[in-house]
């Protein structure tokens, strides 16, 4: 009785907690079956986490590693937005430009960002350059695609309405097409950030001295599975926080969609 | 019955259409259409489905170029930059990211009217269509008939030289349609705009129009011009009303 009342009232908090508890139990059971080093127990991982946050790894604290990864992502992401959004929007707006650019873009698009790693290292050396470049490629493609789709699917009726009022091409663009494309752009804004966060880790697995990806590689080199798993959990938590922040930001910028989200 | 001469007496021609013709390659859609719209008139156009009503309106709105012929507004060739031509589409064209009041401001801002004039007109229109309590709502928070009223308010706010309406109530149920038709008459009486109302609903045309133009089947020509000199508010079951309605129905048949 008490439990069911608690379940109803506290289900907002209760269900997520239950889900975490179940996952941890399964993990613990798997640890007991598989055993020891291969799959560390949740407690071992937790202990390792505490240890990692209290010492320096490769000369830097975990916070500094996170900072390095985030810095790469943010730089690449902003560059991607600044170049990708206008390009995508212009492709969606101008048919001639679209015809010229589209074939090139279609060939470049399916190349996964990770496939750029070797050439990026050849071109840009082993410093920050290639890592930012990889993230940039990932974010850029998504920015372009979403801006393009958003523009392309602008309701022609709204453009026609603006035209009856004698709106110039410019007014049609700024008063109709761009606002109309915002929801799609925002979907891209979120996906691009996730993509660029995934890419930074891939890039850091190859020859980085700092960053969250480096933590994982350290764990592998030192044969410390708990360390690898702590690194993975950090990646997950940061990725999720980024997504939540952007969703909040979207609600701020596209208030007319508040009932749809 | 009022004759054309009597009807035209004392009225000023607002829009003159002469020899309006539109061909798509070999296909002749509009064939030598000639008519006038008088200042402040409510003119209805009816025609059989597929007779080229949409092409007709799009040509009038200058969305597509006419093959031949002139459209003069106040004696000068119509131009969306110079003239106020407003268009209420069949589909609801409210702008989803703008609130009700910003939707009404939309056309006025594109026309770059002074800010105080815009505010004055927005207040007038909100009052006229009774949307004041919903001014800050977004269109999708309203019912579709209310959305269409937002669009109608947005277009009347321009004080258009010519307001083109393409079956704006075609998708609403009959009760709402009656209500909105009365509202349209009320706004039109208040603002004295020139309205060209296209519909395939004969009853609606007889209810609204001071004059009805009947289009023939493709290629569209003006088959007949009917003056509706019934007092308002009109009654659907008034014998005079029924007579005119039946006359239009007869005229519209092409078989």
Give chain A's largest Cα–Cα span. Answer: 74
* pLDDT, one tens digit for every residue, chain A (261 residues): 455 555 555 567 788 888 889 998 998 888 888 877 778 888 888 888 888 888 888 788 888 888 988 999 999 999 999 999 999 999 999 889 989 988 988 888 888 888 888 888 888 887 888 889 999 999 999 999 999 999 988 888 899 888 888 888 899 999 999 998 888 888 888 888 888 998 888 888 877 788 888 888 888 888 888 888 888 888 899 989 988 888 888 888 777 765 443
Q: Using a CB–CB cutoff of 8 Å, tell me whether A166 touches chain B.
A: yes
Q: Which of B80, B98, B158 sits opposite A163 (nearest CB)?
A: B80
Instruction: Judge whether residue B211 has pLDDT over 60.
Output: yes
Cα–Cα separations (whole angstroms), residue A151 to A82, A85, A87, A93, A183: 17, 11, 11, 6, 10
Residue ranges covered by each domain of chain B? 1-82+198-255
Handedness of CA B156, B161, B165, B166 (dihedral sign): negative
Secondary-structure breakdown of chain A: helix, strand, coil percentages, each rounded to the nearest 5: 80, 0, 15
Residue in A161, A179, A255 closest to B87 by CB: A161
Q: Minimal Cα distance from B136: which residue of A?
A: A256
Give the pLDDT score at A83.
94
pLDDT in tens, B88-125: 988 888 998 999 999 999 989 988 889 999 999 999 88
pLDDT value, residue B92: 86
Predicted local distance difference test score (pLDDT) of residue A1: 47
The bridge status of strand B162-166 relative to strand B68-73 is unpaired
For chain B, the average pLDDT equals 87
List the alpha helices (DSSP H) in A94-224.
95-108, 117-124, 128-152, 156-164, 169-172, 178-204, 212-221
**ipTM passes above 0.90:** no
- Asked if B109's CB is within 8 angstroms of A158's CB, the reply is no
Question: For chain A, which residues make up each domain, given as ranges?
Answer: 1-39, 40-257
CB-nearest to B80 from A164, A182, A259 is A164
User: What residues 10-69 of chain B have any CB closer than 8 A to a CB of chain A?
Assistant: 61, 63
Cα–Cα distance for residue pair B164/A18, rounded to 1 Å: 61
> Does domain B1-82+198-255 match CATH 3.40.50.300?
yes
A165 and B110 in contact by Cβ < 8 A?
A: yes
Secondary structure in 3-state letters for B77-115: ECCCCCCCEEEECCCCCCCCCCCHHHHHHHHHHHCCCCH
Min Cα separation B41/chain A (Å): 20
Least CB–CB distance from B81: residue in A166, A255, A259? A166
CB contact (8 A) between residue A175 and residue B109: yes
Q: How far is B185 from chain A (nearest CA, A)?
A: 23
Which residues, 6 or more positions from A163, have their beta carbon under 8 angstroms from its beta carbon?
A: A172, B63, B80
Q: Measure the CA–CA gap between A12 and A24, rounded to whole angstroms.
A: 19
**Scanning the structure block, which residue is given the tokens 């079951």?**
B237
CATH superfamily of A40-257: MetI-like (1.10.3720.10)
Show the tokens assigned to A169: 């091409």
Whether B89 has its CB under 8 Å from any CB of chain A: the answer is yes
């Amino acid at each position: 009785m008490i439990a069911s009342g608690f379940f109803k009232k506290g289900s907002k908090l209760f269900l997520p907690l239950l889900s975490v508890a179940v996952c941890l139990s399964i993990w613990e059971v798997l640890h007991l079956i598989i055993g020891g080093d291969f799959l560390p127990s949740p407690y071992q991982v937790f202990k390792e986490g505490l240890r990692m946050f209290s010492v320096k790894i490769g000369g830097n604290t975990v916070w500094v590693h996170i900072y390095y990864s985030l810095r790469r992502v943010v730089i690449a992401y902003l560059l991607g937005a600044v170049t990708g959004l206008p390009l995508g929007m212009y492709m969606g707006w101008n048919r001639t430009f679209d015809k010229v650019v589209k074939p090139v873009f279609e060939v470049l698009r399916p190349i996964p960002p990770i496939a750029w790693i070797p050439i990026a290292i050849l071109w840009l050396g082993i410093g920050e350059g290639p890592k930012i470049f990889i993230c940039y490629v990932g974010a850029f493609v998504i920015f372009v695609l979403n801006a393009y789709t958003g523009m392309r699917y602008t309701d022609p009726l709204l453009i026609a309405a603006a035209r009856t009022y004698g709106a110039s091409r410019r007014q049609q663009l700024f008063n109709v097409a761009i606002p109309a494309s915002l929801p799609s752009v925002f979907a891209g804004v979120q996906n691009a950030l996730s993509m660029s966060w995934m890419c930074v880790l891939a890039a850091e697995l190859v020859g980085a001295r700092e960053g969250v990806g480096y933590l994982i590689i350290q764990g592998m080199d030192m044969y410390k599975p708990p360390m690898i798993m702590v690194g993975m959990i950090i990646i997950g938590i940061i990725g999720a926080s980024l997504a939540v922040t952007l969703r909040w930001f979207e609600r701020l910028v596209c208030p007319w969609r508040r009932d749809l989200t | 019955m009022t004759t054309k001469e009597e009807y035209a007496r004392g009225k000023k021609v607002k829009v003159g259409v002469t020899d309006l013709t539109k061909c798509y390659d070999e296909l002749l859609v509009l064939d030598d259409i000639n008519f006038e719209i008088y200042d402040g008139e409510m003119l209805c156009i009816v025609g059989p489905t597929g007779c080229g009503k949409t092409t007709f309106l799009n040509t009038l709105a200058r969305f597509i170029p006419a093959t031949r012929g002139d459209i003069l507004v106040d004696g000068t060739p119509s131009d969306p930059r110079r003239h106020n031509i407003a268009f209420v589409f069949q589909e609801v064209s409210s702008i989803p990211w703008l609130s009700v009041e910003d939707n009404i401001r939309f056309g006025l801002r594109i026309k770059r009217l002074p800010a105080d004039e815009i505010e004055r007109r927005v207040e007038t229109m909100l009052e006229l269509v009774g949307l004041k309590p919903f001014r800050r709502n977004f269109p999708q928070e309203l019912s579709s008939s209310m959305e269409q009223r937002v669009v109608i308010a947005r277009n009347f706010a321009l004080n258009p030289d010519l307001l083109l309406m393409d079956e704006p109530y075609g998708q609403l149920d009959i009760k709402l349609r009656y209500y909105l038709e009365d509202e349209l008459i009320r706004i039109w009486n208040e603002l004295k705009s020139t309205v060209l109302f296209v519909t395939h609903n004969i009853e609606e045309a007889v209810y609204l129009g001071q004059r009805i133009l009947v289009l023939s089947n493709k290629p569209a020509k003006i088959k007949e011009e009917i003056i509706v000199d019934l007092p308002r508010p009109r009654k659907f079951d008034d014998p005079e009303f029924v007579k005119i309605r039946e006359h239009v129905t007869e005229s519209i048949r092409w078989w």
